[in-house]
Structure 1
Amino acid sequence: MGTSLQPVHTLSPGANLNAYIQTVGSFDVLSAEEERRLTEDLYYRQDLDAARQLVMSHLRFVVHIAKSYSGYGLNQGDLIQEGNVGLMKAVRRFNPEKGVRLVSFAVHWIKAEIHEFILRNWRIVKIATTKAQRKLFFNLRSQKKKLAWLTNDEAKAVATDLKVDVTEVYEMEGRLSAHDAAFDAGVDDSDDSAWQAPAHYLEDHRFDPAAQLERDNWKESNLNSLAAAMKQLDDRSRDIIQARWLSETKATLHELADKYGVSAERIRQLEKKAMMKVRAAMEA
């Protein structure tokens, strides 16, 4: 390959997205013969340098896929980073004897990671939890660009295609059409519309003494459990959890990666492992 490849950890779509896209676009595309040689080196000889070259040469493809999800209102750098995780998983699992190009195999893994990220972050309330709901979410979301409300025939066609009940199609369509609403009326709302805010018609149980005491006890118990669980973590893991979840200004994976001199993916792994330890300790 003619282009000198940089180490994976030096590339960060979160730091300067335009520079990142320009950089990955400059990497040479592998020929079928080069790809075959590298995938065999990785598959049969666990050659990590081959894995690095395979990942780097396909980063432009992740950018292309991530751009197709720009309509969800999420940070493009985060979408690319999640897609990169999927690419690395694909490279690790790819079998060169299957007779297909790596890019054909990797597209599933890249989209799967991006889909998970979108479903975790698109709305405050999770919009899809089951496998069938996830299929419905992305299929209906793409159709909404060209359709108004689904007709009966369209809904039945989607249900048949995805092998779900038509009522699930209508339910997901309703979720897509809904939006996160503020509890209080907006400062610019007129008197004629302000009454529609939930604050005006939902009963307030905050000042029920029994409920308040129960909440206070529950909060105190959780805080004590959390403090005890955090003490079981090493200093770095504790700092990552504190910065990512417990601080008013939450740090990004890339900021913590720069702080500790590791990749954003490594910070992600440490965070996941630490969260599992905290949950296990709090549930014990």
Structure 2
Amino acid sequence: MSNSLALKVRDPWSLVPSLGNLDAYITAINRVPLLTAEEEKDYATRLKEKGDVEAAGRLVLSHLRLVVSISRQYLGYGLPQGDLIQEGNVGLMKAVKRFDPDQNVRLVSYAMHWIKAEIHEYILKNWRMVKVATTKAQRKLFFNLRSMKHALKEGAENQQRASLTESEIARVAEELNVKREEVLEMETRLSGGDVALEPQTDDDGETFAPIAYLADDTQEPTRVIESRSRDRLASDGLQQALEVLDPRSRRIVEERWLKVNDDGSGGMTLHELAAEYGVSAERIRQIEVAAMKKMRKAMVAETA
């Protein structure tokens, strides 16, 4: 089919194969002709005023090659180009939806921001080494450090040197408005390789991987503090909670829950306590419930 007819078929999307065959996809979209300024404005106006879905499709279709071009800039992050293109296409569709033909700006200029933004989000969520870049400045550093480092090396006498010099670090930090320490940390993360935590073998022999000698998380400071807090509540906290009870309520709780005889048996039963105090077993149960609530309230206040 000739280029002149490519956008005149009833379903222009039939010309585009799936991203499963990336080479065929790129070849196909490169055959789709670009829209003239008049055609672009006409389609954009139809979409804006009438919600014309077909017009939106024509705008998207004619700019798919732009997404492929932008996706190539992000191949250094180890993610499949097909996935990058797919996310970029989402950004393109968002751009088409928001595009205003009355602003006298071509869609290609407007769409670049949305395409890059969508690809950036995808990389940040899925980059396999480490989750980084939580602030706007750090994101800028994440996506610009590679290119800036390459540009600095091109003008350096020793281009084989991998790490940045102090002056280069200071320059990058100043240009991207980040701290020197953030440049060093990001460079370390970007230059590091992936390490498998699990053994990468099917053999039955003894195999060691980093996961085998990672620190025991039970010794992690917050875990230690939580453990000590539980131990304190089990001893001092419980004793203080018992002290808020009247003598009868305290004895009932101790007999029912805390007393253990030498033979392993517990304390007195509801009926035994009822006989001792001259009330019904139900009344003893009510006192026990009320006492437990009072103790819980005291222990919560203690931890607050």
Q: TM-score range by the shorter chain?
A: 0.5 to 0.7
CA apart distance, 1:142: 2.3
Say which of 139, 156, 165 aligns to 1:151: 165
Change (3 A) 1:9 1:151: farther
SS at 1:29's partner residue? coil
Shift of 1:30: 0.6
> Which string of whole-angstrom CA distances, capped at 9 and with x for unpartnered residues, describes residues 20-59 of structure 1?
1121111111111111211122223322211110000111
Q: How does 1:57-96 map to 2 (within 5 A)?
A: 57-96=62-101
User: Per-residue deviation at 1:122?
Assistant: 1.6
For structure 2, list consecutive stretches of 5 or more residues without a partner in the other structure. Answer: 154-161, 202-206, 228-304
- C-alpha separation in 1, matches of 2:168 and 2:62: 41
Name the residue aligned to 2:143: 138
Equivalent residue number for residue 202 of structure 1:
215
Cα deviation, residue 200, structure 1 = 4.0
Kept after mapping to 2: 8 A contact 1:119/1:127: yes
Matched residues in 2 for 1:128 and 1:79: separation? 19
CA offsets 1:83-120 (integer angstroms, 9 cap, x no match) = 10000000111111222110001001111111111122
The percentage of aligned residue pairs carrying the same residue is 52
Confirm or deny: 8 A CA contact 2:18 2:25 kept in the other structure. Answer: yes
Distance 1:82 1:36 in 2: 25
Sort the Cα spacing of 1:24 and 1:10 in 2 relative to 1 into closer, same or farther, 3 A.
closer
CA contact (8 A) 1:2 1:28 kept: no
State the one-letter code of the partner of 1:103: V
Letter in 1 for 2:212: A
- Map residues 95-244 of structure 1 onto 2, 5 A cutoff: 95-145=100-150, 147=153, 148-183=162-197, 197=210, 199-200=212-213, 202-203=215-216
AA at the equivalent of 1:156 = A
- Find the aligned partners of 1:153 and 1:125 in 2 and give their Cα distance: 27
Q: Structure 1's 14 and 196: CA in aligned 2 closer, same or farther, altered over 3 A?
A: closer
* Structure 1 segments unaligned to the other structure (5+ residues): 188-193, 215-284
Code of the aligned partner of 1:154? E
Verify the 8 A CA contact 2:129 2:193 in the aligned structure 1.
Answer: no
Aligned equivalents of 1:138, 1:12: Cα separation in 2: 30
Residues of 2 paired with 1:22 and 1:8: CA distance? 14
The one of 47, 53, 62 equivalent to 2:52 is 47
CA distance in 2, matches of 1:74, 1:82: 12
Maintained 8 Å contact 2:72/2:81: yes
Indicate if the aligned counterparts of 1:13 and 1:20 stay in contact, CA closer than 8 A. yes
- The 1:51/1:182 distance shift into structure 2, 3 A limit, reads same
CA distance in 1, matches of 2:184, 2:148: 13
TM score, norm. by length of structure 2: 0.58
Q: How far apart, CA to CA, are the structure 1 residues paired with 2:85 and 2:187? A: 27
Question: How many Å separate the matches in 2 of 1:121 and 1:152?
Answer: 31
Distance, in Å, in 2 between the alignment partners of 1:198 and 1:166 is 32
Aligned equivalents of 2:169 and 2:106: distance in 1?
36
Conserved 8 A contact 1:182-1:197: yes
In 2: Cα distance, 1:96 partner to 1:155 partner: 43
Give the distance between the partners of 1:202 and 1:37, measured in 2 at CA.
63
Give the CA RMSD over aligned residues.
3.1
SS at match of 1:125: coil
Residue in structure 2 matched with residue 272 of structure 1 by the alignment: none
Higher RCO (C-alpha 8 Å, min separation 6): 1
Contact in 2 for aligned 1:13/1:80 (Cα 8 Å): no
Q: Which amino acid aligns with 1:160?
A: E
Deviation at 1:14, TM superposition (A): 2.8
